[in-house]
Amino acid sequence: RQPLSPCVAGERLCSTEEATAGSGTYTRHGFIFSSLAGCLKRKNEDSELPVVSVVRDSESQLLPKVGAVVTCKVCSINSRFAKVHILYVGSTPLKSTFRGTIRREDIRATEKDKVEVYKSFRPSDIVLAKVISLGDAQSNYLLSTAENELGVVVARSEAGVQMVPISWCEMQCPRTHTKEFRKVARVQPQFLQT
């Protein structure tokens, strides 16, 4: 294995006669350029030209920061909070999972005293939330779903079917037509994970 050499976005890597452009690169005027900052990888395919690609530097681990919208999966709930694993920051998947907590008072913007965690989230729900304070090795990131755009985006019913939102506080199973309470997100298209 060759050592990976670092490169910056827009850097000219080589001519299109020497190699084929792979992921993280683009060609212009007979040259291959890096489209992102990362490490240059050169892979030889059979007898053809080597493929050059740029992979993001694993050292520059993306961290959730205050104000970032994250996609997380609910692990457990109790009467005071929901514990989650943060999977994405924006649309970028995280290499390692971070733990987060959505406290009862951070679930909704209104009628905070009437919020019930088990009527907002269930384990294995996929939730859009906003980071409101940073965690460390011991404690979790504190997250909020108080905005309309935040909340449950994917939930499965008891029958194991993906439910359909029918209001801002309920989802319904298309198979059994059972309704379940959730803090439903009004999803903005840019946050949808395909």
SS3 112: helix
Residue type, 66: V
For residues 134 and 51, the model is more confident at: 51
* Distance set, CA 18 to CA 3, 41, 50, 155 (Å): 19, 14, 8, 49
Confidence category of residue 1, pLDDT binned at 50, 70, 90: very low
**pTM higher than the cut 0.85:** no
Superfamily of domain 68-186: Nucleic acid-binding proteins (2.40.50.140)
6-55 CATH: 2.40.50.100
Same fold, 6-55 and 68-186: yes
Q: Is the pLDDT of residue 150 over 90?
A: yes
Residue 89, H or E segment: strand 81-89
Q: Is the pLDDT of residue 194 over 50?
A: no
Spell out the domain ranges in the chain: 6-55, 68-186
Closest CA to 125 of 87, 80, 167, 95: 87
Yes or no: say if 79 and 139 are a contact pair by the CB < 8 Å rule. no
pLDDT digits (tens, 9 = 90+) for 59-109: 455 778 889 999 999 999 999 999 999 998 887 888 777 899 999 999 998
For residues 47 and 100, the model is more confident at: 100
Res 28: pLDDT: 92
Tallying the residues shown for the chain, one arrives at: 194
pLDDT digits (tens, 9 = 90+) for 112-123: 888 999 999 999
